[in-house]
Structure 1
């Protein structure tokens, strides 16, 4: 409910305020200037009543945006609450200012160009952008909950242009929410178990933000039953795997559909993260040994955590940076709670997915400007069972010229097809797009069109692209078809919508086929079969080694002959690969057919994931 309080005519709109009533107390917001740079506007200050307190917000009557920034979603995760699950905020007395973004969560990564100017460990806040119509009480507006990227290690919820958000979303009567979560060591540290410190703390923070939105968004005119989870890069990954998780929101209570752009989740090793956490604890004097004891007792873990809670946050941040400079970053998601139960097989994670309508997409070249495949756990995004062997095969294939894209680019392309097929096979509408605009179609080059980062004056071609993104995402948020010409994804044809515009040459966005089939087939067919075959070899590796010279000579001769055949066939395959186009013909593609107890197949008789086939 909203109540008009005051009508103001403002020559300096940035000085005007408004009130919003939330469950925890009054919040005082601030006005903004629209993109047309008008200097004389009318603003209306309202009180918005939520379940716990009052927030003071502001509206611009001409385009009706309301902003409340810096709304707490949890108690500050400092002191004894450091490394704990987020706890609901406490109500406050009087009016709490919500005029500005809060400080960004602490980060200090080599991957970030510029660090935020204002950072704090006390950073669990959300920002809500809405409109006059949404607040009128006569409408219940769709909601977009945005998750920022940065590999859970950098970037922030306060890096975005609020004017852009209100122009693109609030003006279309969409309630837009951006929530913060702990980064780096503070959000992704891990120990041997979850008894003392839960793994994936950053994911719990994101869930807390979604829960807060679900309970309070109606006070801002939002419909908690019409929520789109949206993200880019790691944020897109989280939206995608949250939608697929049978633990986080299986009944679709918190969100009903997703937009996942350039998802690049490459799960980190739980043991590796625990070792790295112990290493940092040693660097700041909280352990006597640099190496983690195996096993680590609860008493040992508790003692280390108590010590870490008393170390200055900036000291921890500096040590985190030093380790990252050694190639040991605190980033990424663990394939563990709250996403899945420990021990869950990846094929079960896919098969048990509740599925949702989805827009997913990529840029044409993604991470192909990078040359650092060696830095990644190869195959971790599929949770392969034999990572060392998969890694060795990958670099052998790359040396032979079988792999054209950077590893992370392959991750993005494969995830889009894999989850797109999973969701579509279960009856959800899926729309796949690719940003193909020349000359730059790398990772994040599409962000100016949907979240406003690095936006500049647009060319005529770019204006068409900008309109496409805005119209498509708004339509999708309202439950409509994104674009009349954009065909839903079909895993047999791997069709996608190519976003490329050159008005002089008559090039406009259009449907195309065979979305990165070479990279997708490599992982969902070739490498998956290879990984599965190793399990069979382990079971068959019991050989009677008779100490017989003739037997050994026979074995040696056979191996030598086999080696010669391998060298010859490898040479021929490399030559063939060099002369063959990267995308295979349609009939050679590996369509992903995933349902409960189903298999990923290339052809009818070729099982790609034997573990899934065994469940049939």
Structure 2
């Protein structure tokens, strides 16, 4: 057994591998339910004796059942926990760079217990790795109106992440980590959370570097968030008031959200949410999140944070393969899609001209993937660099020719880069992402990506030049170890300059 001292008490960990020890499910804040529901996170209560931390903590309320990961059980309340992997060395406290991981999942599902987020390989590379759970869905991002002088903060999930970073600052030295050399990282909505943290006053000084893989572009206005609450409350059969919402069980709000999502999916006339009905996103409330990340970066709010951005070449093909987005396979539906999102004139035509033989569905998936992830990732790096920050840009372009577990060719799609960056390729639960048994070339690619993350967390240099002078100096991750970039359709990058980000969707 392995023991660590934290500010709340002693914890018992375990040896995760020959060179790595770990402690899982350590509370960083109090359970956010009962009198604390829909409020800012409070410090975790101290405990006597030794707390067993050899298993992951409970996941946040959700309906998802993800491969290889635990599911939420109604009644699980102690959900605000962190997991730590650290090299099993005799080094002194506070020496090693720290990487804090924020999971994705459309702000609605996911957890730190997913098999691709195991920190063993990164710890072997010399990092102290922290992963965390935070409130998602309505609990974390649903709008709760003020009443009787009591205000309920928006972006409670982001506030949970900040609480976890504060826990890291106060406790990570006991695990060998340097609290002054913290990198916060995430993918998809986790990467978008990272971008928000970069421009939030409350998070200032808690990390010095940031990694954002496939950051999601949407942010919501308070009006959009309030409208979503009314839809959720109607589906749950409760008033859209603090009293009505707090009296409604988490399970009922989760089920209500699923019903609202299904209604959008069935209704092609429901606007932009029909194509990808994500109900939650960070809210530009003027308090917890005063500005969207792009605006904040333009203002120089994050210039002191080094940034590493990555996206995949074929982001949205995964969402199509797993059936979570609308099928757009006719010219009429493609034109409606462009109108619903207010895409710049000529943008879809540029994609079609670059691949004239491609079916309509492929054109739609290429445009949608860049709209939600690729073009936004490029713009984050460019804005950060323009304001004086250091930004590195990369793209994951690894494919596999044979069919994967989904029955389709395994593409360079959303989420496929994360098992490589964590160095986790062997878990059967990840086969659908990478296409079955990894090859020697796959392992070599994973080794390079792990090393880039470790080097960036240690020094701020992942191994290739930063973005500058308007140039997109982009590392491309492939199994043949080349840096040849397969550009997106000619002229499309310039056309994206006319798209409005953040993507405010009603």
Normalising TM by the smaller chain, what interval?
0.7 to 0.9
Q: Deviations over 1:107-145 (max 9, x none)?
A: 1159x6787335423311111111233x63266110000
> Post-superposition shift, 1:520?
2.9
Aligned partner of 1:92 among 47, 63, 67: 47
* Pair 390,18 (structure 1): closer, same or farther in 2 beyond 3 Å: same
Cα contact 2:108–2:280 (8 A) shared by 1 = yes
For 1:272 and 1:26, the matched residues in 2 are separated by 44
CA distance in 1, matches of 2:238, 2:173: 46
Within the alignment, does 1:24 sit opposite 2:25 as a pair?
no
Mean alpha-carbon deviation: is it higher for 151-160 or for 393-402?
Answer: 393-402
2:414 aligned with 1:443:
yes
Within the candidate set 103, 111, 123, 1:156 is matched to: 111
Out of 449, 453, 471, the position equivalent to 1:469 is: 449
Larger radius of gyration between Structure 1 and Structure 2: 1
Match in the other structure for 2:271: none
Distance of 2:297 and 2:475 partners within structure 1: 28
Contact 2:306–2:460 under 8 Å retained in 1: no
Quote the residue 2:212 is aligned against: 260
SS at structure 2 position matched to 1:182: coil
In the alignment, is the contact (CA less than 8 A) between 1:28 and 1:98 conserved in 2? yes
CA change 1:158–1:368 in 2 (3 A) is closer
**Structure 1 unaligned residues grouped into runs of 5+:** 1-16, 35-61, 293-303, 377-387, 503-507, 532-616
Tell me, in whole angstroms, the C-alpha distance in 2 between the residues paired with 1:345 and 1:462. 34
1:477 is paired with a residue whose SS is helix
Partner of 2:201: 247
Query: What pairs with 1:215-364 in structure 2 (closer than 5 Å)?
Result: 215-243=170-198, 245=199, 247-250=201-204, 253-287=205-239, 304-327=241-264, 329-337=278-286, 340-341=289-290, 347=295, 350-355=298-303, 356-364=305-313
Shift of 1:241: 2.9
The alignment status of 1:178 with 2:149, answered yes or no, reads no
The 5 A counterparts of 1:520-559 are: 520-524=493-497, 526-527=498-499
Do the aligned partners of residues 399 and 178 (structure 1) sit closer, same or farther apart at CA in structure 2, a change above 3 Å counting?
closer
Give TM-score, length-normalised by structure 2: 0.78
CA contact (8 A) 1:495 1:514 kept: no
Residue-pair matches, total: 443
Deviation at 1:262, TM superposition (A): 1.0
Question: Aligned pair 1:131/2:87, yes or no?
Answer: yes
> Relative contact order (C-alpha < 8 Å, sep 6+): which is higher?
2
Contact 1:103–1:158 (CA under 8 A) maintained in structure 2: no
The answer as to whether partners of 2:107 and 2:189 remain within 8 angstroms in 1 is: yes
8 Å contact 1:191–1:197 — kept in the other structure?
A: yes
Q: Does 1:122 align with 2:112?
A: no
1:51 maps to which residue?
none
1:379-419 alpha-carbon deviations (Å, 9 max, x no partner): xxxxxxxxx99747528756656564232423322222222
User: Post-superposition shift, 1:341?
Assistant: 2.2
What runs of 5+ residues in structure 2 fail to find an aligned partner? 265-276, 329-336, 353-362, 401-410
Please tell me the root mean square deviation across aligned C-alpha atoms, in Å: 3.3
**CA offset digits 1:286-322 (Å, max 9, x no partner):** 32xxxx7xxxxxxxxxxx2233323333222222222
